Structure formats: C-alpha cells, structure tokens
Structure 1
Amino acid sequence: MGAYADLPGVRTWYETEGNGDPLLLLHGGFCTNETWGAMRTALAAEYRAFLPERRAHGHTPDVAGPLSYRDMADDTVAFLETVVEGPAHLVGWSDGGVVGLLVAIDRPDLVRKVVVIGANYRPGPECFERPAMLDAMAPDSPDLALLRELYERVTPDGEGHWATVVTKLTDMWRTQPTLAPEEVARIAAPTLVMAGDDDMVTLEHTTALYRAVPGARLAVVPAASHLVPLEKPDLVSRLILDHLAQDTVETMMPIRRAAPETSRAAET
C-alpha cells in the first residue's frame, strides 16, 4: 500500500507492509522501493515495514538546490515522528545506510536497532575502491540503465529530470558524508555493519565503521558486491532478522566484547 506524507522538507511517498514492531527500510542511491525485492516480504513477515522513498527518488519529487545526506536524515526524522509516530529499527542500504547513521547519531530516541549495508561515513574519494567511478556516472551510462528505467517509470518530475538527479547525487557523493569517528561513536543503538566482500566501499573503511560504533557487529558476505541485497536476499534477510532478534552476543571466546576484568586477566 502506498501513500504520500506531507513532511516539512518534501512530500514523501511511502509504502507499508506487515505487522509488528516498526522497521524502516531505507533504499540506496538512484533506487526505488522495488530494489528491496524478496527481502521486503521476508522482513514484513516479522515486522511492520515502512518504505519511504527519499527526495528525488522513486515517487518522491526532487527539491530545489543540491541534495544532502543531512536533509534526507531530517526528512527521515520527520517521517518517524509523523508517520511511524515513534522509534523504529532502521535498515539502510548504501545511501540509506548513511542516512540511518545520521539519524542514529542525532536522534537516538527514535532508533531501536540499526543495520547498514555498504554504507560509508566519509566521501566517496576517500573510501571507494575506485573513486574514478564517479566520473563515469553519466545519465546515459549503460551501468545506470536499469536504475534509470525504474526512476522514469514512477517519478513525478518527468523522464527528463533523470540527468539532474544523476548530477546532484554524484556531486553529493564526492563531498559527503563528512563524519568523524568520534561522531560515529555516539551511536548507542545496537548496530550491524554489513558489506559484500567485493563492495564498492573498501573493506578497510567498512571495518573502520564497525570499530567506530560501540559494540557493533560485522558481517562480510562472501562472493557478493555492493548489490548484496539483490544477489543474496535470503542470507541478508536472515542476518538482519538475527540481529534484530538478538539482544546480547554470547560467544565462547570473546575478545572485543569481553568484560574489562576478563580482558585484563587474559593479558596476564
């Protein structure tokens, strides 16, 4: 079921499915809700899934001026307050993961648990495996053909607006986000950091994000790329559901999660 919410920043299209505790699914850049594919059904079987499409994506119109993660995070906060009417779990993929990190930092009262997939906390030139890919993202690029088709099928801005969206997003990726590890360390919600082992974001950056979030969990999916939710939806869904259901982590030989007194004893 789809509807529009008149938020302060932008009139936002969203869909809902399932019952239970609220779960926000935050799609990636250039994407629409269609890209959640089979995962949507699996997650909605356990939770009340909310799927907003961000400004300049899918059914949601673009706005004047440049795009920024901060504005999209503000839109998401407004959505949580207005539509969800309270805190929710956040599952963000790529750009949606960046938005999820910002919301978790700024509004911990609205966030229960967090999953970020292929997310980054620094600009693309600092953390992409191949930063030059930003220069190759032309509106008529064959690599963007499927995403262009999804966009043009539903956008209220008209097919001709695609070129503007490509320019705005690539400009944003070159300069944003600009979080410091100290800011990421403010995230209090239990967090799962996930990526494909051949992700466009370097594994070093993914690991740095994992280490910066207190008590975070890490999942690197083998034989997978930045599109891991499309490539291995069953596995990704299971990892998400396990994280959301598990309040504590108990392992046989904890190191990073060991109690301080246990850690000191192990060093002697």
Structure 2
Amino acid sequence: MGAYAELPGVRTWYETEGGGDPLLLLHGGLSTNGTWGALRAALAADHRVFLPERRAHGHTPDVAGPLTYEDMAGDTAAFLETVVGGPAHLVGWSDGGVVALLVALARPDLVRKAVVIGTNFRPAPESFADPAMLDAMTPDGPDLAFFRELYESTSPDGPAHWPVAAAKVLRMWRTQPTLTPADLARIQAPTLVMAGDDDMISLEHTAALYRAIAPSTLAVLPAASHLAPLEHPDLVHRLILDHLTHPTPETLLPLRRASR
C-alpha cells in the first residue's frame, strides 16, 4: 500500500515496509519503485524502507518546467524531513544515485550512509560507456518501450503525457549532472560505490567517482550490467547490508586510506 506526501515541490507517492533504521530506496530514471522488487523484502527485514517515486515517475505527477536532479534532490530532502522525520541511509540506483549524491552534498545532516549503484556525476556524453546509445533513445522508439509501458500503467498524468516526460528525462541525461571531483570531495557520508563490470556507466567514470569521495568503498560486480540489482540481488543485498551495518574495516596495506 502507498500514500501521497504533500511536499512543497510536488505531491509525491511513496510506499513503506519493514522496521528499524530508516532507509530510502531511490529508483532509476524513467522507472518506478517497483524495480526494487528483488531487494525490497530483504532490506525491509532489517530496516524501515521508504520507496518514494520522484516527480514525473511512477505515481508521482510531472511538474511544469524542465526536470533537474537538483529539484529532485530538494524533493528528497523535503521527504526526509516531513515523512521520515530525520536522517536516513540512502540507496540510489542510476538516477537515484545522482539524487543521493546531491542530497549528501546539500543536506549532510539528513544522510547517514549512502550506496550508489551505476551512478554518474557528469552528463551522459561524458560518463556513458557508449555515449552514442543516447542518440537511439526516443520517446516512441523501441529502446524505451519497457519504460513507456511502466509510465502508461502508473502515471496520474495519463499515457498521453509520456512523450513530454520522456523528453524531459532525455534532455536531463544529456546535460546533467555537472558535479566535479572537488564537489564530491565534500561528501561526508560513508559511501559504497557499486557498478557492474559491464555497466552503462564506464568503469573509468565509476573509478573517478570512488576516488573523489574520501569516505568511500568500491564494489565492481562480475558478470553484471547496469541492472545488477536484478541480476545479482543476493550479492547486492549482502554488500548493501554490510556497508550500512558495519564500519569500513582496516586493511593490512592501506594506500588511499592511509592518511585517514
């Protein structure tokens, strides 16, 4: 069961499950919170899981004007304050990871620990393993057919609004986010950076994200793509749970962490 939260920027749909420390699951672009289905119950066994759907996604309506990660991060911070009632762990997949990074930067008081999966900090032309794949994505093209069906079955704006919402997301991917390593260096929350070894985000970009965030660890999953949480849910769950419940262990030969 879900409900709407009346936030300052948008009327936001969310669902909850489980008990314990609060944990936000932030879905990917053009998706719904249903994409967390393979991990939702397992994470709810140890945490109070919140699954908000961002503006123009799932059951949450679109808002006039362009879509920006900054606005969605502001919505997420408002959700933490008004619905969760305080700080929480953030687990973000793809676009949800971008939102998690921005919340950790703007509102460190609201983020305990973070996990970002298949996440970029620069626009698609700079971060995709194959930037040309974005050129094949059109609202009515076959590459987005799965996402179009998701949208048409859930959006309160109706199926006719899909081309508008999809065009906004594609424009956002081409031009955002625009974070720098210096920006990422300000993140204080311990962060697990996770990606598939055949991810849509290049491994070089993922490594740069990991290197820029001082309190971070890196997990590259073998035989995994951008859909690693669906392909290897048990492994992803174990990595998330270990990160959220244990401090980063000391290593025998620290190099990057030696100064810490």
TM range (shorter): over 0.9
Q: Give the superposition deviation at 1:180.
A: 1.1
Query: 4+ residue stretches of structure 1 with deviation over 4 A?
Result: none
Q: In the TM superposition, what whole-angstrom CA distance separates every residue of 1:36-92 from its partner, at most 9, and x where no partner exists?
A: 112001101110000000000000000001000000000000000000010000000
Q: Give the superposition deviation at 1:257.
A: 1.9
Are 1:146 and 2:146 matched, yes or no? yes
Q: Give the superposition deviation at 1:141.
A: 2.2
Which residue number corresponds to residue 162 of structure 2?
162
Does the CA-based 8 Å contact 1:120-1:209 persist in structure 2? yes
SS in 2 for 1:223: coil
- Of all paired residues, the percent bearing the same amino acid is 74
SS in 2 for 1:59: coil
Q: Give the superposition deviation at 1:197.
A: 0.6
Report the Cα distance in structure 1 between the residues aligned to 2:201 and 2:248, rounded to whole angstroms.
28
Report the Cα distance in structure 2 between the residues aligned to 1:65 and 1:259, rounded to whole angstroms.
45
Q: Give the superposition deviation at 1:131.
A: 1.3
Are 1:95 and 2:95 matched, yes or no? yes
Are 1:172 and 2:172 matched, yes or no? yes
Q: Give the superposition deviation at 1:215.
A: 2.4
SS in 2 for 1:122: coil
Structure with bigger gyration radius: 1
Are 1:70 and 2:70 matched, yes or no? yes
Does the CA-based 8 Å contact 1:100-1:114 persist in structure 2? yes
Are 1:236 and 2:236 matched, yes or no? yes
SS in 2 for 1:225: coil
SS in 1 for 2:222: strand
SS in 1 for 2:115: strand
Matches within 5 A, 1:1-268: 1-259=1-259
Which structure 1 segments of 5+ residues have no match?
261-268
* Equivalent pairs, count: 260
Does the CA-based 8 Å contact 1:98-1:119 persist in structure 2? yes
Q: TM-score, normalised by structure 2?
A: 0.98
Q: Give the superposition deviation at 1:146.
A: 1.9
Report the Cα distance in structure 2 between the residues aligned to 1:9 and 1:213, rounded to whole angstroms.
29
Q: TM-score, normalised by structure 1?
A: 0.95
C-alpha RMSD of the superposition: 1.0
Report the Cα distance in structure 1 between the residues aligned to 2:202 and 2:38, rounded to whole angstroms.
26
Q: Give the superposition deviation at 1:259.
A: 4.7
Q: In structure 1, give the amino acid aligned to 2:87.
A: P
Does the CA-based 8 Å contact 1:137-1:166 persist in structure 2? no
